[in-house]
Structure 1
Amino acid sequence: MFRILITATLLSLIVSMNAYALGCQDGTAYISGGSTYPPLSWEHNGELRGASIDLVTQIFSELDIKVVTDGGGPWKRVVQRAKHGKVDMLVGVRRNSEREQFLEFIDPPITPAAQAIFILKESRFKYHDWSDLKGKVGATTLGVSFGSEFDEFAKTHLHIERVKTINQNFRKLLRKRIDYILGPLLPTLLYAEKSGYRYKIKFVRQPFMIIDEYVTFSKLSDCRQHSDYFKERIAEMTADGSMDELLEKQYLSW
């Protein structure tokens, strides 16, 4: 009976392990990220492409490790995959205290990103600081974090609705069901252009914050053994302009 119990336990562990990314031990790193976040990452034919994917693919190739991406998906779900070890790495991640519990953030960040307030073209919305958002109805997408400080401020003082896609928020804004949208400046403009909303909305010239985007390892991944190398190479590639070149290339291709 005891032997049967041990055998069953071992089989259970094997099945459980197979449900997770193997890490870098098989020469492959499994990567995920935002599927609607150009030029850093977006989904194309079931895989992710973008500047952040190009960056980590190049660094992994220097270690003779192959990169496999999934198609991303809703950001909240993507983050959970990394939390539970289903992928080795997430790209284009904003740092907050909750995520630091299960993700290893690689310093330095890969790029700073302006976070903007989007409003209707005819709106006379005036903005000076976060307090000007009080009393209005805002929106963003599910799973998005703007850093611990703003997230806490929003939780306490603001009314912000969250939906699955940016296009849903565009439609809500045009129907005047919300007063503003919070989002990264460049990706939101790109989607507004692609979706036909570009000339119906505008953005407040003053960003409500500048936030850093990071590459992260799942703390359940053995790819973390390469974190020091990633820190060194990301520092070099952001300093010498290589990352800016990748961003420009993917901006033009998207």
Structure 2
Amino acid sequence: MEAIVAYFSGLNNSHVKAGIQRLNCSESGDNNAFFSFLNRLQRFLFIACLMPMLSQGAQECTKIVISGNPDYPPITWIDSHGATPMRGVAIELLEMAFSELSIPLDAMHVGNWKRAQHSARTGKIDLLAGPYQTTERNEYLEYVEPAFMQDPVAIFFKNGHQIDIDDWSQLRAYTGARPLGHQFGEQFDSFAQQNLKFYSASSIQQLFEMLVNERVDYVIYGLNPGLAEAAKGGFSNEITYSSNFISSEPMYLPFTISSPCRQYSDFLSKKIATFIETGVVEELTTKYLKMLEKQISVSD
């Protein structure tokens, strides 16, 4: 019994100490008291261990912090000077959905797409706007079905230097480029890693510059974002693309697994389905493409 008393003597909880003292005083007799105390102690320790988890689970979703790719119009993007918050189809869809619950959104620019994914992985944001689904991302994102739109992935070439591509294997003879942190479907990514030569850069504008200067033979990027970024950078007349797409990937609005806002996954799922069915996604895509055209014409 003295060994048990010594073991628990360092505990600060007064109830535990009192229980040990009572047992010590009645050592001569009643084993039932000893086992009764151990049962109470077991329950106490179980609740003590459970409390942090209950506290974490009870966290409220008072604001949804979002980030995405700053160079992926019309889905998500920021102005080149970065003076305005992130905007685009994905951001406005989320604003429309959560306005019903009066939950504010904070669309943060945390850096390039690779940094946005890192912010999701480390729990610094609640929701990542517009990623494809991959095995790696499944480890830190809770995907909300359905996808809100499809994203055709194109091969861009310099005008006059197009390559007729019917099969990925034909790209082996050429040098390509892709932005840092981008995936273009797990099948293509696996093939590219084993068979293709790529250069990478942090922005699509840098890659288009490499393309028109003939430092690379082609660039892989989403079709609509690629055309918009080419126009922004003044490359529209110098760049073309193949009508044979690499893939067409679904884009999602997933919560991070550490976010207390995950509790609204089912709610968001229903809102996305409604937005698709009623044509809201298509309307917003048209709206932001026109906005981009206007911005580009003004800057010209």
TM-score (norm 2): 0.75
> What amino acid is aligned across from residue 124 of structure 2 in structure 1?
K
Is 1:34–1:42's contact at 8 Å kept on the other side of the alignment? yes
Is 1:43–1:72's contact at 8 Å kept on the other side of the alignment? no
**Which residue of structure 2 aligns with residue 32 of structure 1?**
67
Residues 127-184 of structure 1: per-residue CA shift (max 9 Å, x gap)? 0021111121000100001121111111011111111111111111122111100000
Gaps of 5+ in 1: 4-22
Shift, 1:201, TM fit:
1.2
Question: SS where residue 134 of structure 1 aligns?
Answer: helix
Shift, 1:24, TM fit:
7.6
Query: Please, which moves more after superposition, 214-223 or 127-136?
Result: 127-136
Residues 174-232 of structure 1: per-residue CA shift (max 9 Å, x gap)? 22111100000111111111211111111011212111111010000010000011111
Question: SS where residue 215 of structure 1 aligns?
Answer: coil
Is 1:141–1:164's contact at 8 Å kept on the other side of the alignment? yes
Counterpart check, 1:164 vs 2:199: no
Larger Rg: 2
Is 1:136–1:159's contact at 8 Å kept on the other side of the alignment? yes
Is 1:48–1:72's contact at 8 Å kept on the other side of the alignment? no
Counterpart check, 1:212 vs 2:212: no
Is 2:184–2:249's contact at 8 Å kept on the other side of the alignment? yes
| Bigger helix fraction | 2
The runs of 4+ residues in structure 1 deviating greater than 4 Å are none
Larger RCO, structures 1/2 (Cα 8 Å, 6+ apart): 1
Aligned Cα root-mean-square deviation (Å) = 1.7
Is 2:60–2:260's contact at 8 Å kept on the other side of the alignment? yes
Question: SS where residue 77 of structure 1 aligns?
Answer: helix
Gaps of 5+ in 2: 1-9, 13-57, 293-300
Question: SS where residue 111 of structure 2 aligns?
Answer: coil
**Which residue of structure 1 aligns with residue 222 of structure 2?**
184
**Which residue of structure 1 aligns with residue 266 of structure 2?**
228
Counterpart check, 1:239 vs 2:274: no
Identity among equivalent pairs (%): 33
| Bigger strand fraction | 1
> What amino acid is aligned across from residue 109 of structure 1 in structure 2?
A
Is 1:24–1:65's contact at 8 Å kept on the other side of the alignment? no
Q: Following superposition of structure 1 onto structure 2, how do residues 1-254 of structure 1 map, counting pairs within 5 Å? A: 25=60, 27-44=62-79, 45-254=83-292
Q: How many residues align?
A: 235
